[in-house]
């Protein structure tokens, strides 16, 4: 399909001597159709060109050469260059492509780039709480969208299965293990042991020393410590998998911190050879003050144990060699901003090609908070994801029973609605924003929520059912879809692939979530203002086909976010 936005960018670039990719990102879609179908804000060039936006707009308009069959008019308004398209050409192109493609906007061309996405990464032997949910759904959405656009993607669940915390858990199990039956609710019981040992460590420094010694023994392969650790890990993965099955999450690798434990010696040796590794209070560190980072990166603790930064560096070496990545994304909370600044800077000392160190990217997100404040597994103040999902499913079922008591397969539909509501809620706003968890708000069928998108999709199905069948594209008269409500939908659908590219460019799935809300609202306006099932067969065919197109894009877009669409509600 013709990329009109790209054609406009090329034409402006030729008229200004700027690069096409510099122009492309500035082109907007005006909310008011009176301001054209596309607009270029000339004030973006004013500083560089040292001219007023209006003057720049006038110069571009005078020089620009466009396909006049596609772009019927160009005008200037307040420093904006507005482009008015031939609506019928765009309508035909969009609907024909929708008709011909199984998955609209999907790239059939494989991109010659390898993307590694490190996400979810819960700590074993701890409950999978709502603090882990955001990384899981953001990472999952990015994984889906990169694949959809033709990239070679590897999803890594970098389990937190190593570190001093396991020294603590082993010590707690030594002291109180006989009190717990791990054959039932093992994670809750291990969490209780962890909470108890943390309290004891605060009271008794000797206990904390024992915990540190346990971890050192684990690093050295002590049989008892290793056996306990393996048992904790196996129990945890079994619990996690149940949650991943509910969310539809899949990973290509489960290599966690422990996988890199025997690979840290190489990192330490390389850093020693650079002369950057130095001793500080018994620990081995890399001083990064010359890079504007005041806090040094600790590579080895004073007792000789490695730290998770060392294992992250070993992971970078391994991933570069194994996956030859062009990008390696780390989806974690913004709390870890400093950690990744340090690790990415130290990674430049490992002798890797710049391609790899330039491809490292932290994708931070805000906290999920309870109305009562922040969560902490250490304090036992958290909400388990499994409980949350089940609660959302049960509440969705109650709402569905009230709205449509005779609906078949209520259990399955409630599952899709409840889980979809939770996933969409985590993706609907900018990932960096903190979020206060509110299950009632996320299940509001009238709000900007997952259920609202699902309800709109179900409405498109209902229209197709009333029409008996989807008309063939050849039978559609696109001239009958020139009203503003139809054209709003056409323009939004046309932008689908561009929206997906914006998501990966900014690592921001909320762009797609907002897009689906916009498409749902546009269809709601179209539905309310236009009679779809009517006596005029040609008009009905055109509107039914447009309805089909909306449903298709909603379903494909929701699937990329990790949501499933019910056929009825």
| Residues 44-96 pLDDT 10s | 999 899 999 999 999 999 999 999 989 999 999 989 999 998 989 989 999 99
Average pLDDT, integer, range 249-268: 95
Instruction: Provide CATH code, domain 385-561.
Output: 1.10.730.10
Architecture in CATH of 4-85: 2-Layer Sandwich (3.30)
- The domain segmentation of the chain, as residue ranges, is 4-85, 119-369, 385-561
Strand order in the sheet with 360-365: 152-156, 114-118, 327-333, 360-365
Instruction: Output 354 or 163, whichever has higher pLDDT.
Output: 354
Query: For residue 286, which phi and psi values (nearest 5 degrees)?
Result: -115, 120
Alpha helices in 149-262 (DSSP H): 164-176, 186-203, 205-219, 223-247
Q: How much is the pLDDT for 9?
A: 94
Q: How much is the pLDDT for 378?
A: 47
CA nearest neighbour of 236 among 167, 298, 189: 189
Block residue for tokens 């396991």: 166
| Residues 321-347 pLDDT 10s | 999 999 999 999 999 999 999 999 999
Which residues are CB-neighbours of 379 under 8 A, at least 6 positions away? 195
CA–CA separation, 299 vs 343, rounded Å? Answer: 10
Instruction: Say how many Å lie between the first and final Cα of the chain, rounded.
Output: 34
- Cβ atoms of residues 303 and 216 within 8 Å: yes
* Mean pLDDT score of the chain: 92
CA nearest neighbour of 143 among 327, 285, 302: 327
pLDDT at 374 over 60: no
pTM for the full model? 0.90
Signed CA dihedral, 192, 243, 386, 183: sign only:
negative
Q: Grade residue 2 by pLDDT with cuts at 50, 70 and 90.
A: low
Average pLDDT, integer, range 536-561: 97
Q: How much is the pLDDT for 453?
A: 98
Architecture in CATH of 119-369: 3-Layer(aba) Sandwich (3.40)
DSSP 3-state of 244: helix
Q: How much is the pLDDT for 371?
A: 59
pLDDT at 548 over 50: yes
Average pLDDT, integer, range 298-302: 91
């Amino acid at each position: 399909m013709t990329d009109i936005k790209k054609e406009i960018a090329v034409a402006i670039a030729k008229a200004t001597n700027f690069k096409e990719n510099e122009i492309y990102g500035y082109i907007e879609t005006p909310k008011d159709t009176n301001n054209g179908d596309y607009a270029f804000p000339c004030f973006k060039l004013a500083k560089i060109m040292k001219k007023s936006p209006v003057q720049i707009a006038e110069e571009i308009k005078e020089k620009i050469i466009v396909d006049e069959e596609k772009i019927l008019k160009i005008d200037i308004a307040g420093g904006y260059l507005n482009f008015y398209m031939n609506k019928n050409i765009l309508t035909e192109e969009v609907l024909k492509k929708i008709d011909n493609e199984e998955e609209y906007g999907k790239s059939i061309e494989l991109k010659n780039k390898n993307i590694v996405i490190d996400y979810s990464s819960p700590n074993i032997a701890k409950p999978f709480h709502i603090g882990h949910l955001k990384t899981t759904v953001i990472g999952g959405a990015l994984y889906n969208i990169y694949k959809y656009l033709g990239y070679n993607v590897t999803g890594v669940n970098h389990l937190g299965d190593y570190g001093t915390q396991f020294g603590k858990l082993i010590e707690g199990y030594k002291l109180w293990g006989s009190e717990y039956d791990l054959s039932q609710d093992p994670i809750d019981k291990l969490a209780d042991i962890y909470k108890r040992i943390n309290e004891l460590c605060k009271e008794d420094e000797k206990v904390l020393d024992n915990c540190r010694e346990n971890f050192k023994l684990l690093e050295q392969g002590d049989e008892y410590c290793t056996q306990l650790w393996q048992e904790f890990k196996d129990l945890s993965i079994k619990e996690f998998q149940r949650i991943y099955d509910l969310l539809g999450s899949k990973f290509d690798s489960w290599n966690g911190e422990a996988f890199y434990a025997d690979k840290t010696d190489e990192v330490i040796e390389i850093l020693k050879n650079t002369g950057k590794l130095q001793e500080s209070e018994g620990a081995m560190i890399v001083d990064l003050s010359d890079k504007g980072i005041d806090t040094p990166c600790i590579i080895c603790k004073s007792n000789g144990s490695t730290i998770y930064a060392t294992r992250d560096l070993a992971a970078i070496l391994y991933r570069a060699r194994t996956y030859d990545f062009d990008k390696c994304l780390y989806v974690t909370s913004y709390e870890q901003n400093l950690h990744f600044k340090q690790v990415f800077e130290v990674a430049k000392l490992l002798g890797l090609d710049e391609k790899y160190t330039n491809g490292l990217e932290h994708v931070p997100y805000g906290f999920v908070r309870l109305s009562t404040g922040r969560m902490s597994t250490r304090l036992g103040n958290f909400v388990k994801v499994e409980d949350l999902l089940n609660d959302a499913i049960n509440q969705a079922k109650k709402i569905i029973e009230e709205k449509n008591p005779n609906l078949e397969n209520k259990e399955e539909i409630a599952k899709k609605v409840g889980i979809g509501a939770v996933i969409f809620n985590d993706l609907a706003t900018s990932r960096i924003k903190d979020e206060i968890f509110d299950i009632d708000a996320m299940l509001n069928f009238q709000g900007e929520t997952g259920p609202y998108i699902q309800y709109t999709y179900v409405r498109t199905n209902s229209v197709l059912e009333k029409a008996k069948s989807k008309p063939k594209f050849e039978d559609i008269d696109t001239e009958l879809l020139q009203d503003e409500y139809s054209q709003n939908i056409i323009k939004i659908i046309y932008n689908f692939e561009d929206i997906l590219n914006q998501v990966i460019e900014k690592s921001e799935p909320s762009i797609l979530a907002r897009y689906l809300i916009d498409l749902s609202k546009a269809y709601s306006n179209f539905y309310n203002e236009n009679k779809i099932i009517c006596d005029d067969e040609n008009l009905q065919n055109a509107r039914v086909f447009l309805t089909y197109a909306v449903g298709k894009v909603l379903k494909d877009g929701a699937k990329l976010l990790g949501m499933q669409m019910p056929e009825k509600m």
